[in-house]
Chains A and B, each alone.
Chain A
Amino acid sequence: MSVNAISEYHAEPKDRVENFNGMQLLYVYWPKHLMFCAPFALLVAPDMTFGAFVDELLKPAAAGHPDSEKADFLNAQWLLNGEAFTPDPASTLIDSGIDHKSMLTVTTPGLEGIRGSAS
Chain B
Amino acid sequence: MAIKNKKLNLKDKYQYLTRDMAWEPTYQKKEDIYPDEQFEGIKITDWSQWEDPFRLTMDAYWKYQAEKEKKLYAIFDAFAQNNGHQNITDARYVNALKLFLSGVSPLEYAAFQGYARVGRQFSGAGARVACQLQAIDELRHSQTQQHAMSHYNKHFNGLHDAAHQHDRIWFLSVPKSFFDDARSAGPFEFLTAISFSFEYVLTNLLFVPFMSGAAYNGDMATVTFGFSAQSDEARHMTLGLEVIKFILEQHEDNVPIIQRWIDKWFWRGFRLLSLVGMMMDYMLPNKVMSWAEAWEVYYEQNGGALFKDLERYGIRPPKYQDVANAAKNHVSHQAWGTFYQYSQATNFHTWMPEEEEMTWLSEKYPETFDKYYRARFEHWDKEQKEGRRFYNNTLPQLCQVCQIPVIFTEKDDPSVFSHRQIKHEGERYHFCSDGCCDIFKNEPEKYIQAWLPVHQIYQGNCGGADVATVVEKYYHINLGVDNMEYHGSPDHQRWLDIKGLKPLQSNSEKKTAA
> Which residues of A are at the interface with B, using a C-beta cutoff of 8 A?
1-6, 9-16, 19-21, 23, 25, 27, 29, 31-32, 34-43, 60-61, 63-64, 66, 81-82, 99-103, 113-119
Subset of 24 A-B contacts with CB under 8 Å: A1-B443, A4-B39, A4-B41, A5-B39, A6-B36, A6-B186, A14-B450, A14-B451, A14-B452, A23-B458, A31-B417, A35-B379, A37-B337, A37-B342, A41-B396, A41-B397, A41-B458, A64-B390, A64-B393, A100-B428, A101-B427, A101-B429, A103-B428, A119-B372
A14: chain B residues within 8 A (beta carbon): 448-452, 455
Beta-carbon nearest neighbor of A27 in chain B: B397
A2: chain B residues within 8 A (beta carbon): 443-445
**Contact segment of B80-88, B245-253, B405-413:** B405-413
B256 to chain A, nearest CB (A): 12
A100 to B426, CA, bound (A): 10
Beta-carbon nearest neighbor of B339 in chain A: A37
B49 to chain A, nearest CB (A): 24
The 6 closest A-B pairs by CB, nearest first: A118-B415, A119-B376, A38-B405, A38-B396, A101-B428, A117-B375
B271 to chain A, nearest CB (A): 14
Question: Are A36's CB and B448's CB within 8 A?
Answer: no
A12 to B451, CA, bound (A): 12
Query: Does B398 interact with chain A (Cβ within 8 Å)?
Result: yes
Given contacts A13-B449, A34-B376, A38-B417, 15 further A-B contacts (CB under 8 A): A3-B444, A19-B459, A27-B397, A29-B419, A31-B417, A34-B417, A35-B376, A37-B407, A41-B394, A64-B390, A100-B428, A103-B430, A115-B375, A119-B375, A119-B379
Query: Does B387 interact with chain A (Cβ within 8 Å)?
Result: no
With A21-B460, A100-B428 already in contact, the answer to whether A114 and B452 are too (CB < 8 A) is: no
A60 to B375, CA, bound (A): 22
A11 to B447, CA, bound (A): 9
A63: chain B residues within 8 A (beta carbon): 393
A14 to B419, CA, bound (A): 21
B341 to chain A, nearest CB (A): 6
Chain A binding surface SS class: loop
Query: Does B304 interact with chain A (Cβ within 8 Å)?
Result: no
B390 to chain A, nearest CB (A): 6
A113 to B376, CA, bound (A): 9
Partner of B449, one of A6, A11, A20, A25: A11
B405: chain A residues within 8 A (beta carbon): 37-38
A54 to chain B, nearest CB (A): 14
Question: Are A103's CB and B421's CB within 8 A?
Answer: yes
Query: Does B338 interact with chain A (Cβ within 8 Å)?
Result: yes
> Which residues of B are at the interface with A, using a C-beta cutoff of 8 A?
35-36, 39-41, 186, 334, 337-338, 341-342, 371-376, 379-380, 390-398, 405-407, 409, 415-417, 419, 421, 425, 427-430, 441-446, 448-452, 454-455, 458-460
Question: Are B398's CB and A41's CB within 8 A?
Answer: yes
A48 to chain B, nearest CB (A): 15
Question: Are A40's CB and B372's CB within 8 A?
Answer: no
A36 to chain B, nearest CB (A): 6
B449: chain A residues within 8 A (beta carbon): 11-14
B379: chain A residues within 8 A (beta carbon): 35, 66, 114, 119
Question: Are A34's CB and B409's CB within 8 A?
Answer: yes
A59 to chain B, nearest CB (A): 11
B407: chain A residues within 8 A (beta carbon): 37-38
With A4-B39, A37-B334, A114-B376 already in contact, the answer to whether A11 and B446 are too (CB < 8 A) is: yes
Partner of B415, one of A34, A99, A115: A34
A40 to B405, CA, bound (A): 10
Question: Are A38's CB and B338's CB within 8 A?
Answer: yes
Beta-carbon nearest neighbor of B35 in chain A: A6
Question: Are B40's CB and A4's CB within 8 A?
Answer: yes
| Most A CB within 10 A of own CB, among B186, B394, B455 | B394
Question: Are A40's CB and B396's CB within 8 A?
Answer: yes
A23 to B457, CA, bound (A): 13
A20: chain B residues within 8 A (beta carbon): 458-459
A21 to B374, CA, bound (A): 42
B442: chain A residues within 8 A (beta carbon): 1
Question: Are A117's CB and B371's CB within 8 A?
Answer: yes
Partner of B394, one of A19, A25, A61: A61
A92 to chain B, nearest CB (A): 19
Beta-carbon nearest neighbor of B452 in chain A: A15
A87 to chain B, nearest CB (A): 19
B458: chain A residues within 8 A (beta carbon): 20, 23, 25, 41, 43
